[in-house]
Structure 1
Amino acid sequence: MQIKFPKLNFKLFIIPLVGTLMILISTGLMYLFGFKTFEQIQDHASKRIVLLAVETFLAVSVIHYILKVFNKKFPWEKSWIFRFFLDTMVVFCMGAIMAYYFNDRTTAAVRNFLPPNMPLELSFIMPVIMNTLFVCVVELILLYENHANMNVKIAIMEKERINSAYSALKQQLDHHFLFNNLSVLSSLIYEDVDKADDFIQDFSKVYRYVLQINDRDLVTVEEELDFIDAYLYLFKSRFECGFEYRIDDMSAVNQRFLPPLTLQVLVENAIKHNEVSKQNPLHIRISHQDGLLSVSNNHQPKMEDVYSTKTGLRNLTEKFNLLNTTAPTFKLENKAFIARIPLIEADHD
């Protein structure tokens, strides 16, 4: 069975570097306050610093490997008491190993560098303290890594959820668009064959746009306006004097973005819920102001009840929410229903 060692995290190198820095600072303070002469420091400091750096890195590497194994086989969430016991055993076992190494190899160096009355028991106490700190630091590093990995997984899952939900919404609106226009065509066939033929030609142009943008999450304002102009013309050819529309100059915002078929949803909503007749013509205006696209119509609700799934505007709002941008607003102002749509900049993520 081949043992697979986990990759060492570069953060582990910080621990011996910090230990080395602490020794350098303490050595400088000893010299500054006269506890050690320059000759004493020169004789022992360099050797001790190198030994400390090597020993610290080896100890941290071993602890990192052990705790990685513990995290897989004995995670904290299963039994924190047992895991605490295991971590404590690691501290004392590593401390005993380091104490043995100190006593056998570096006792003389430690003795020469420490004050004369310093007990040799520190050769065991110090490794235990050091390994306690090492275990705590490595545990924090592993906890941070697990947290970061979990956030990445959550972000990936959230992105997949958003893409799936957005695709479903877009597909639902596309089908809604198709079925409604087929109903329009069906009614025109019995009224005027020539007009129905013209309608088919214009409808083919409109639906070509729907097919072209089917895999796109955003389109430019210019593209959407070209489409909605053709789309509105279909209704103009059907309702004649009962329907009027106006599209203001949009050159200032032509290269901004919005979800495809946004304007189609708003226009369809206006036609569906309002009276369209020669006596009470419906007026639709598309304009822009302060970075918002405005679609307004005179509010004249139909007398009869209109069947509605009430999903059009709600789905449109959800599309903007999924794109992580400001949601559109819908208000009734001065006998006019106004939808204000935020436009998305090119650098939007």
Structure 2
Amino acid sequence: MKTILKQISQNRYFLLFILLFAYIQSIHVRVTVRRTLNRYIFTPEAAVATFISACILFFVIDIFIKKWQRSSKFRGREIFKIFTSSLLVYLLVMNMIGFMISLTFGTIEKNFNRETFIFTSFSDLIDGFVYGSFFLAYRYYKKNVVYQKQLLLYEQALSDSKINQLKTQLNPHFLFNNLNVLDQLIEEDRQKASDFLNEFAEIYRYVLDVSDKKLISVQEELAFAEKYFSLIRSKYGNAYMLQTDYENITGNTVPLSLQLLLENAVQHNLGSSSHPVLITVHVGKNITVTNNRIPKRSIKKISGRALNNLIEQYSVFTDQPLEIVKTETEFTIIIPIIPEKI
């Protein structure tokens, strides 16, 4: 009983629609037949009877769906089989109910003569087709809504998994590069190495904090990039310069994206005090990171994995791709700002 009441509650708007449709149908039939308006035309007993018949049909269709439908997808052959079988069983049930009522009131000859039987069966068949179509459309609409929700959850889980996998690759990359810098500083200047270690510990704490976040604000990322650049200055002095400017500072970005681009500029270019590498970060409609090119003469082949990783992360959140513009004198990367609503 509780299950039936729960089903009625969950589908109350559909059932109300069926009842209203049956009531309007009964009024239309009576007006068409009698061609007059009176109080009888608006009485609800015919609509209630049709509603009960429709519920019997829904119950029969539901049984056949559970019995024969093998997949969650809409298959024409399965639906045709379910629908035709349901209509036949529905006609049988309605005739049995009609026969029992006629037997009770002694009206078998009146209600089950050939002409009346054919007319009644045809009428039940038309009603069954109409109300059965309503039920199937509603049933598969609900199933599609559930499927779309499951698909959305699956895509979200897939995106989360992909992002976590990509971040797992980036954190060791960040740690490895900066430990190399620390190793060099220990040999050159222990005091500078100590200062670098303190700054690095604070910055890496931030890296661990944002590792659990999909997106952070552009303002937060810009502040972190400036702090991270202080590590670079600790090692290289004025050989690398950072300049930032912005028109607006709203929206989100992938965590550590600017840090990666700063690191990329240092890794690929050889700056000096007399010929520094100038890195500019402009925040407008997009974030544009540009540096002048002073290529290192002999460096080992670099895989570009970190930059490809960043491109993949952005592809999860936006259809706008990262743009890479490379000339003889400059290297520019334009990354999209992700709206805060995401």
TM-score normalised by structure 2 residue count: 0.84
Q: What letter is aligned with 2:202?
A: K
1:121-160 superposed matches below 5 A: 121-160=118-157
Instruction: Give the match for residue 98 of structure 1.
Output: 94
- Residues 240, 37 of structure 1: CA spacing in aligned structure 2 closer, same or farther, 3 A cutoff? closer
Alignment match of 2:320 (pick from 317, 320, 326): 326
Shift of 1:178: 0.9
Alignment match of 1:272 (pick from 267, 274, 279): 267
Q: Distance in 1 between matches of 2:29 and 2:63?
A: 36
1:311-322 superposed matches below 5 A: 311-322=305-316
Q: Distance in 1 between matches of 2:160 and 2:281?
A: 29
Q: When the two structures are aligned, how many residues end up with a matched partner? A: 327
Deviations 1:179-203 (A, max 9, x none): 1100111111111112212211221
Shift of 1:157: 0.7
Shift of 1:286: 1.1
Q: Tell me the SS of whatever aligns to 2:7.
A: coil
Alignment match of 1:285 (pick from 280, 283, 289): 280
- Residues 93, 221 of structure 1: CA spacing in aligned structure 2 closer, same or farther, 3 A cutoff? closer
Instruction: Give the match for residue 39 of structure 2.
Output: 42
Conserved in 1, the CA contact under 8 Å of 2:200 and 2:231? yes
Instruction: Give the match for residue 7 of structure 2.
Output: 7
- Residues 340, 89 of structure 1: CA spacing in aligned structure 2 closer, same or farther, 3 A cutoff? closer
Which runs of no fewer than 5 residues in structure 2 stay unpaired? none
Q: Distance in 1 between matches of 2:318 and 2:65?
A: 36
Q: Distance in 2 between matches of 1:71 and 1:13?
A: 23
Alignment match of 2:172 (pick from 164, 172, 175): 175
TM-score normalised by structure 1 residue count: 0.82
- Residues 101, 37 of structure 1: CA spacing in aligned structure 2 closer, same or farther, 3 A cutoff? farther
The sequence identity of aligned pairs, in percent, is: 25
Conserved in 1, the CA contact under 8 Å of 2:26 and 2:47? no
1:1-349 superposed matches below 5 A: 5=4, 7-8=7-8, 9=11, 10-28=13-31, 36-38=35-37, 41-43=38-40, 45-47=41-43, 50-75=44-69, 84-99=80-95, 101=97, 104=101, 119-120=115-116, 121-248=118-245, 250=246, 252-278=247-273, 280-289=275-284, 291-324=285-318, 326-333=320-327, 335-346=329-340, 348-349=341-342
Deviations 1:202-240 (A, max 9, x none): 212221221232222222222222211121121122112
Shift of 1:161: 0.7
Which runs of no fewer than 5 residues in structure 1 stay unpaired? 112-118
Conserved in 2, the CA contact under 8 Å of 1:19 and 1:53? yes
Conserved in 1, the CA contact under 8 Å of 2:22 and 2:51? no
Q: Distance in 2 between matches of 1:75 and 1:285?
A: 62
Deviations 1:3-56 (A, max 9, x none): 9658242324322322322333454566xxxx5344xx434x244xx2332223
Q: Distance in 2 between matches of 1:287 and 1:328?
A: 15
- Residues 179, 239 of structure 1: CA spacing in aligned structure 2 closer, same or farther, 3 A cutoff? same
Conserved in 1, the CA contact under 8 Å of 2:60 and 2:89? no
Q: Tell me the SS of whatever aligns to 2:280.
A: strand
Shift of 1:330: 1.5
Q: What letter is aligned with 1:285?
A: T
Q: What letter is aligned with 1:7?
A: Q
Q: Distance in 2 between matches of 1:101 and 1:182?
A: 85
Shift of 1:281: 2.3
Kindly report the root-mean-square deviation, in angstroms, between the aligned alpha carbons of the 2 structures: 3.1
Q: Tell me the SS of whatever aligns to 2:320.
A: coil
Q: What letter is aligned with 2:137?
A: L
Q: Distance in 2 between matches of 1:197 and 1:81?
A: 75
Q: What letter is aligned with 1:198?
A: D
- Residues 334, 304 of structure 1: CA spacing in aligned structure 2 closer, same or farther, 3 A cutoff? closer
- Residues 29, 86 of structure 1: CA spacing in aligned structure 2 closer, same or farther, 3 A cutoff? closer
